[in-house]
Amino acid sequence: MKKWREHTYSFILLVVVLVLWEAIAFNIKMTFILPSPTDILMKLWELKKVLLLEHLPATLCIILIGLGISIILGVGLAISMNSSKIIEKAFYPLIIFSQMIPTIALAPIFILWFGYSIWSKVLVTVLITFFPITINTYDGLRAGSNDLKELLLTMGAKKKDVFLLVNVPSAMPHFFSGLKVAVTLSVIGAAIGEWLGAQAGLGYFSRRMMTQFDGAGVFAPIIVLSAMGIMLFLLVKWVENKTLMWRKSE
Amino acid sequence: MLMIKTVLHFDSVSFRYPKQEKGPLIYDSMKFTVREGEFVSILGPSGAGKSTLFRLITGLEQPTGGKILLNGEYFSNRLGHVGYMPQQDLLMPWRTIWENAALPLQIKGSKQADMRISVEELLKEFGLGGHEDRYPAELSGGMRQRVSFLRTILTGSQVLLLDEPFSALDAITRLSMQEWLLKQWEKRKKTILFITHDVNEALFLSERIFVLTDPPVSRMEDIPVPLDRPRTLKALDIPEIMVLKDRLIDQLRTKATT
Ligand SMILES: Nc1ncnc2c1ncn2[C@@H]1O[C@H](COP(=O)(O)OP(=O)(O)OP(=O)(O)O)[C@@H](O)[C@H]1O
Ligand SMILES: [Mg+2]
């Protein structure tokens, strides 16, 4: 119950904004530019089958494949950088630099490479999600206490033991922080990818509605997209809480 | 006469930290011996090199010159041969109490199920029964130190090095921990080297006190404590011990100021 009460104020604010929105939209009367919240809800209901059964699975697929690749790539890179100074020196600056590249500007090229297939969208998603995972995991691996590592050495632990017993557990909370950021970004990444060229997906559908001047139709898939992002975030948070039980005692 | 085994011997050991190649020596051909079953305290001002001594014995550092013998044998790699209990408890926050205590067994390759039973038994004996599955953050400082000590015992080593284990505890808890430690030492017949800043603690616990001067140290003063066992805190008030106490405090004080 307490958890709900914490959100009372943001809930009130949300209701106020929605009411204002409804009032303004009602007065402007230009649904194709500014649909009212009730218009959007009605559209959502009308399109529920197409959105949930056709376009949602397409986008979810991109997000899950993209995140999966990012996790494998990011964790692998973090472990390699942690284990070798040379790899760290070679990759770290480039990884930072890769974030200066405006991914959105590059995305049309991916369409040239991969066409309208799923992989152009997956690539966009990977490009913007691997960064938080890599950097956080890498920082986490280095966060392991030096004193603790030395204590393990005095017990006769090998390098591998120290890595598995100290570095990996110390990295877990950081990894989950990175993953939570990545999940949020992945929704944006998939949507951008679909805008540029796709045959299905929530981002694609929203853009198609734009060309038909269907304002409510633009917003409806975005609502579904946000809801999906929130669900994914909560899912990661749930797994995090299950994995890091000990943090509750702190 | 009964032959008492030598468990630790420093044979003209010199040491400086490798990073400070031109820096001063911390030890300059130092010699000392510790026999099996002894309780030796190491007393010295801050920066004298007490923790460095333990780093040398455990094998985290290698002597610049001379040899360190364990049980009369020379090992070039001493890691894994002595039990070391650091100043902070260094329990892993992500492991439960019993998992923390079992760490040395796990490193030596024991099976999960075998460990659990023996560790649980010991936890009970250490007054930690019922806390096996809690996390370190849920325990008091004294309890955590007992887990840390149990972990040191479970290394299976004859020689235990304790680096100011009780310095973070309040005075009352500290007293009961000292008495508890003596009981454990008598029961388990271990050899203990115990670093402390506290003269009373050193007198109460040990048979001999090594006093470290400022570096470079070539000889530690070796002071026997003329008290029988079992000891009580009252015993520290007899005139002979009072004189010794004053002498030690004076010694530490002049060393800290010069
Ligand atoms: N890793 C290290 N590298 C270089 N010098 C060190 C290192 N650790 C300690 N020293 C130096 O060695 C000297 C002895 O340090 P040590 O930690 O052994 O002192 P200590 O007697 O344990 O002091 P305290 O009572 O404050 O714990 C100090 O001058 C310190 O600066
Ligand atoms: Mg020290």
CATH, residue B242:
3.40.50.300
| pLDDT, averaged across chain A | 91
The reply to whether B245 falls in a domain is: yes
Interface of A with B in 17-56 (CB under 8 A): none
Find out whether the beta carbon of B128 lies less than 6 Å from any atom of ligand 1: no
A9 and A61 belong to one structural domain: no
Phi, psi at residue B86, to the nearest 5°?
-75, 170
Torsion over CA: A44, A45, A47, A51 (sign): positive
A21 and A38 belong to one structural domain: no
Torsion over CA: B225, B231, B232, B234 (sign): negative
A220 and A125 belong to one structural domain: yes
Q: What is the pLDDT of residue A183?
A: 96
Please tell me the distance between residue B40's alpha carbon and the centre of ligand 2 in angstroms: 16
CATH, residue A97:
1.10.3720.10
State yes or no: pLDDT of A144 exceeds 80: yes
Indicate which ligand has the atom closest to the C-alpha of B48: 1
Please tell me the distance between residue B75's alpha carbon and the centre of ligand 1 in angstroms: 24
Residue A76: which pLDDT band, with cuts at 50, 70 and 90?
A: very high
What total number of domains does chain B contain?
Answer: 1
| Residues counted in chain B | 258
- In the structure encoding, which two tokens stand for residue B248, read together? 């030690």
Rounded mean pLDDT of A37-62? 93
Nearest beta carbon to residue B84 from set A148, A151, A246: A151
A48 and A21 belong to one structural domain: no
A12 and A103 belong to one structural domain: no
Find out whether the beta carbon of B17 lies less than 6 Å from any atom of ligand 1: yes
Work out which ligand 1 atom sits closest to the CA atom of B50.
21
Find out whether the beta carbon of B211 lies less than 6 Å from any atom of ligand 1: no
Residue A1: which pLDDT band, with cuts at 50, 70 and 90?
A: low
What pLDDT, in 10s, does the model give residues B198-254? 999 999 999 999 998 887 888 888 999 988 888 888 888 888 888 999 999 888 877
> What's the start-to-end Cα distance of chain B, in Å?
44
Distance from CA of A161 to the nearest CA of B (A): 7
Share of chain A above pLDDT 90, in %: 70
- The answer to whether the pTM exceeds 0.80 is yes
State the number of CA atoms in the 13 A half-sphere of A65 facing the CB.
14
| Domain of A8, in residue numbers | 1-30
Cβ neighbours around A97 below 10 Å, total: 9
Rounded Cα–Cα distance for residues A76 and A73 (Å)? 5
Work out which ligand 1 atom sits closest to the CA atom of B17.
4
Query: Of B166, B190, B193, which is closest to residue B57 (Cα–Cα)?
Result: B193
| Domain of B213, in residue numbers | 6-82+157-257
Residue B99: which pLDDT band, with cuts at 50, 70 and 90?
A: very high
The reply to whether B55 falls in a domain is: yes
Work out which ligand 1 atom sits closest to the CA atom of B197.
25
- In the structure encoding, which two tokens stand for residue B233, read together? 């805190």
Indicate which ligand has the atom closest to the C-alpha of B53: 1
A12 and A80 belong to one structural domain: no
CB neighbour burial string for B200-212, b if at least 16 within 10 angstroms, e if fewer:
bbbbbbbbbbbbb
A74 and A25 belong to one structural domain: no
A25 and A55 belong to one structural domain: no
Query: Of B176, B170, B257, B243, which is closest to residue B203 (Cα–Cα)?
Result: B243
Q: What is the pLDDT of residue A229?
A: 94
User: Which residues from B are below 8 Å from A151, CB to CB?
Assistant: 84, 86, 90
Rounded Cα–Cα distance for residues A26 and A95 (Å)? 48
Rounded Cα–Cα distance for residues A191 and A120 (Å)? 12
A154 and A128 belong to one structural domain: yes
The angle that helices A168-196 and A118-142 make with each other, rounded to 10 degrees, is 160
Residue in B with minimal Cα distance to A162: B107
User: Which residues from B are below 8 Å from A249, CB to CB?
Assistant: 134-135, 137-138
Which residues make beta-bridge pairs with A59? none
Rounded Cα–Cα distance for residues B53 and B69 (Å)? 14
A16 and A93 belong to one structural domain: no
A14 and A46 belong to one structural domain: no
| pLDDT, averaged across chain B | 89
CB–CB contact A147 B88 (8 Å): yes
Q: What is the pLDDT of residue B257?
A: 57
Cβ neighbours around B221 below 10 Å, total: 14
Pocket mutation for ligand 1, best pick of B16, B20, B26 (most atoms within 8 Å of C-beta): B26
Residue in B with minimal Cα distance to A161: B107
Find out whether the beta carbon of B26 lies less than 6 Å from any atom of ligand 1: yes
A97 and A112 belong to one structural domain: yes
The ipTM estimated for the assembled molecules is 0.91
What total number of domains does chain A contain?
Answer: 2
CB–CB contact A151 B86 (8 Å): yes
Phi, psi at residue B232, to the nearest 5°?
-120, 165
What pLDDT, in 10s, does the model give residues B110-158? 887 778 888 998 999 888 989 999 999 999 988 999 999 999 999 999 9
